[in-house]
Structure 1
């Protein structure tokens, strides 16, 4: 972990990104792909299924951050014609219904959040996305049990990296910028954004991606469990 050795005992709040930080979005994409195959393709040869999955991930990545996921499924259906085609007009509803149920929270994250609550650290979520979908993810994984505030971009009319969305979280938690830390996977939207609000940013980088920007995170970690080590 880079930037280690910093004492967190003086901090009062810990803010998190949602997708790819608290929740494993890659795993959720694989799960919704399996639902799509079962519903609209039926039996698919193993090799073709793998090829379809890689293409689906590619389409999803290309469309990441776009609330309307119609292009993702339409691209898959165009390249791999299904037995039973889902109408384009129904794709967004399909995605909103099934995708939030594909998320789960791992025990390591649960243990970390339990520790934060025991230490009376205020915790919050700041996430870009559609209100309905993000709330469903949080509700289905029971994350709302731990968090003091949840800020969703569509709901508040602000998106990361806009510093105002981070400032709103500080206002809600009644803490100063120097009393909070933010943890997120996106070096520009998460870390750059929180730094614009004078909040120290911890880059969650489990895949150990290279930082191709000039943004210098306060710290970098490849496991969410490492947060606990600085509180105990």
Structure 2
């Protein structure tokens, strides 16, 4: 294999655990907008909140999530729709935390090759997540779809990053959890895609990753880290 010059990373559900952040966001909503809720009702509400969030995943407009949730489970006070997006933007990025092992790993890799983040989403929210978790200190470059004007799986966002970092596609790896957007997208740009699959889901697509890992620590196998 060609000596690796760079490793690009997806953000949500790769570097950061988005599922845990959604759980924290739900608790903030419960605390602010609802009186006492039974455990049974709370579990039902969390499942529906995650359903709505999943439908809006990758979209910049998150007011839909809260509006649909509040329509099904009326809060103690009604919130105007124009305030919902602001509420999400202010609170959701703060729900993310970073595993210190991830920071150490990325810093170790950065000593050997260039590292960057390529993520879909709102510029404001994604930068807030990155800053709040100190990831901004670890990466040479950060590419956010709204800012670049191109979203994964479009191969042009990968090509844009390659050009900015002046690295060759055949000497670059991309690590992400989404087979279509991350792996299929990067491989269309001739970048080797490593599927981050910690929950060991089956691959029911026609996309064949260059490699599959269940822990980010396995990336050490692809770079010479002392």
Measured against the shorter chain, the TM-score band is over 0.9
Q: How far apart in 1 are the matches of 2:18 and 2:78? A: 25
Residues 4 and 222 in structure 2, CA contact (< 8 A), matched pair in contact too:
no
How much has 1:105 moved relative to structure 2?
0.9
Q: How far apart in 1 are the matches of 2:202 and 2:78? A: 40
Q: Aligned with 2:216: secondary structure?
A: coil
Show the 5 A alignment for 1:80-119: 80-119=73-112
1:72 matched to 2:65: yes
| Structure 1 residue aligned with 2:171 | 179
Residues 202 and 219 in structure 1, CA contact (< 8 A), matched pair in contact too:
yes
Unaligned runs of 5+ in 1: 1-6
| Structure 1 residue aligned with 2:26 | 33
Count, aligned residues: 224
1:190 matched to 2:182: yes
Q: How far apart in 2 are the matches of 1:149 and 1:176? A: 16
| Structure 2 residue aligned with 1:47 | 40
Q: Aligned with 1:75: secondary structure?
A: helix
Q: How far apart in 2 are the matches of 1:107 and 1:39? A: 30
Q: CA RMSD in A?
A: 1.3
Q: Please, which of 115, 120, 127 is the counterpart of residue 128 of structure 1?
A: 120
Q: How far apart in 1 are the matches of 2:162 and 2:144? A: 14
1:57 matched to 2:50: yes
Q: TM-score, normalized by length of structure 2?
A: 0.95
Unaligned runs of 5+ in 2: none
Q: How far apart in 2 are the matches of 1:111 and 1:155? A: 28
Q: Please, which of 15, 24, 27 is the counterpart of residue 22 of structure 1?
A: 15
Q: Which runs of 4+ in 1 moved over 3 A?
A: 229-232
